[in-house]
């Protein structure tokens, strides 16, 4: 499903003046030289037309193999784009805040963290630490593998010799290359220092956003591209991702963000169009929402958050797709911001899913990320192939918590905490459609909690602040 880059076809203009190899006979006969030049030019144009025909044929065949789009006349799952959602008791309920008119903004500049340039591939960790005004690496363990920790005001990074698995403040992070132990010292690959360790330890932990940021939410799949099917019944990933996105949009718009959905009903949308949508709306951030599957395996569970793999590094997951490390995409200009955004969203969601952590992954196969010219992440919010997780995902109250967690991660933070205002409403009919019978009691409880909130809610337009809970390590 990912879109892969193709080499640009030859241009006939590049063949208009062929370069001829040197040969004595060519030097002595200008007429023959001119004839040969025209022949080469003709052959070049023929080759170009043949190449263009092959490419056009491939595109047409790909179009034939694409799933049929749903007829626009068919009723979408959700007709009302302004559908309001029940709020969790975790947050206060207030009146809706009208978004401010769209003001053209430039996309945020990529983060260029300071780095001590080196031609070495492997760099001694103590030397790098000193050069960046950090304390020496603390050795936490010697066996079975030497384990070291680096600390800054941002947090603590823990790595182990011989393993790509690392930890950042308790979250699982994967390095591109396993650190090595050379002459008793830990050595780390230069790309891991630049693209992972350095942004976490030395960059601002929260990507800077201006007032009224533009956030594009991408509900995965849609239309004939239904995504994975829930193990519990006849509902699909596309339905749950759209409901999650609508809830998230409502929360963000009520908190002075301009939030847009790449799709607002049950329609299919090409990955390239989702990227173009974010560009058209001059998005500051892009987040794509999905749910996972390992069918027929019903034991796999947990949260995964993806960002694009930096150039020169291997991906931590390829899912059978090619992984060309030399490929560079527009979104690679935002490698540091991608990682920081992924960490914030991932940590917030772990507070909801019970800390079932499958880590932050870097991959090249998500085509919806590669062309983004802004910080962008893709979230796999749980496994619909796992009965326990599928049951939670089918619960509208749980999807509301997922939306609130992402909103809390995306909204600007202050020293006093995050003020999150929710749109107040009764549960929607779609909640009953997506909820299996086994979750009916939970839905009833959600309605009761919502009714209590509405009775206790402050006057319309008022806001209250909820202090951030301290992050818990999984």
CA dihedral 330, 335, 339, 341 (to 10 degrees): -50
Cα angle: 367, vertex 372, 376; to 5 degrees: 90
Helix (H) or strand (E) holding 36: helix 30-65
pLDDT tens-digit map of 132-185: 999 999 999 999 999 999 999 999 999 999 999 999 998 999 999 999 999 999
Report pTM.
0.68
Q: If DSSP codes are grouped into helix, strand and coil, which group holds residue 54? A: helix
Q: Which CATH architecture has domain 122-202?
A: 2-Layer Sandwich (3.30)
* Backbone φ and ψ of 300, nearest 5°: -60, 135
Mean pLDDT along residues 421-445: 49
CATH of 214-456, one of 3.40.50.1000, 3.30.9.100, 2.30.110.10, 3.40.630.40: 3.40.630.40
* Gyration radius of the chain's alpha carbons: 26
Q: How many angstroms separate the CA atoms of 421 and 250, rounded?
A: 10
Q: 256-266 burial, b for 16+ CB within 10 Å, e for fewer?
A: bbbbbbbbbbb
pLDDT tens-digit map of 360-372: 999 999 999 999 9
- The confidence score (pLDDT) of residue 204 equals 82
Average pLDDT score, the chain: 75
- Give the domain ranges of the chain: 122-202, 214-456
On the question of pLDDT at 117 being above 50, the answer is no
Q: How many angstroms separate the CA atoms of 261 and 439, rounded?
A: 28
């Amino acid at each position: 499903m990912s879109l892969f880059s193709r080499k640009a076809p030859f241009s006939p203009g590049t063949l208009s003046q062929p370069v001829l190899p040197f040969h004595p006979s060519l030097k002595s006969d200008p007429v023959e030289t001119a004839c040969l030049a025209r022949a080469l030019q003709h052959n070049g144009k023929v080759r170009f037309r043949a190449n263009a025909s092959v490419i056009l044929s491939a595109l047409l065949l790909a179009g034939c193999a694409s799933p049929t789009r749903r007829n626009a006349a068919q009723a979408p799952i959700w007709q009302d784009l302004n559908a309001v959602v029940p709020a969790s008791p975790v947050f206060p309920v207030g009146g809706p805040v009208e978004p401010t008119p769209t003001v053209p903004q430039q996309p945020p500049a990529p983060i260029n963290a300071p780095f001590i340039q080196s031609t070495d591939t492997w760099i001694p960790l103590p030397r790098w630490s000193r050069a960046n005004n950090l304390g020496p690496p603390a050795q936490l363990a010697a066996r079975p593998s030497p384990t070291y920790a680096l600390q800054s005001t941002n947090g603590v990074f823990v790595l182990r010799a011989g393993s790509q698995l690392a930890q950042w403040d308790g979250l699982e992070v994967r390095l591109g290359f396993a650190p090595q132990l050379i002459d008793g010292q830990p050595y780390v690959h230069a790309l891991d220092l630049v693209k992972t360790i350095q942004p976490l330890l030395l960059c601002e932990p929260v990507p800077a956003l201006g007032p009224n940021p533009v956030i594009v939410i991408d509900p995965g799949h849609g239309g004939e591209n239904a995504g994975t099917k829930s193990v519990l019944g006849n509902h699909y990933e596309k339905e749950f991702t759209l409901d999650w996105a609508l809830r998230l949009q409502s929360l963000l718009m009520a908190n002075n963000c301009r939030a847009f959905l790449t799709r607002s009903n049950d329609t299919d949308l090409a990955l390239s169009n989702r990227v173009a949508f974010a560009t058209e709306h001059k998005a500051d951030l892009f987040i794509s929402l999905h749910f996972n599957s390992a069918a027929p395996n019903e034991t796999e569970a947990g949260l995964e958050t993806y960002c694009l793999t930096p150039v020169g590094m291997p991906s931590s997951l390829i899912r059978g797709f090619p992984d060309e490390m030399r490929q560079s995409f527009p979104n690679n200009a935002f490698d540091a911001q991608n990682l920081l955004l992924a960490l914030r969203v991932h940590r917030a969601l772990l507070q909801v899913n019970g800390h079932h952590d499958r880590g932050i992954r870097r991959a090249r196969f998500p085509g919806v990320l590669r062309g983004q010219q802004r910080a962008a992440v893709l979230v796999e919010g749980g496994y619909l192939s796992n009965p326990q997780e599928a049951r939670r995902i089918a619960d509208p109250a749980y999807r509301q918590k997922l939306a609130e967690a992402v909103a809390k991660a995306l909204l600007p933070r202050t020293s006093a905490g995050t003020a999150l205002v929710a749109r107040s409403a009764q549960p929607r009919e779609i909640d009953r459609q997506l909820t299996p019978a086994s979750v009916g009691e939970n839905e009833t409880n959600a309605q009761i909690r919502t009714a209590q909130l509405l009775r206790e809610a402050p006057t319309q337009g008022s806001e209250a602040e909820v202090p951030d809970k301290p992050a818990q390590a999984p």
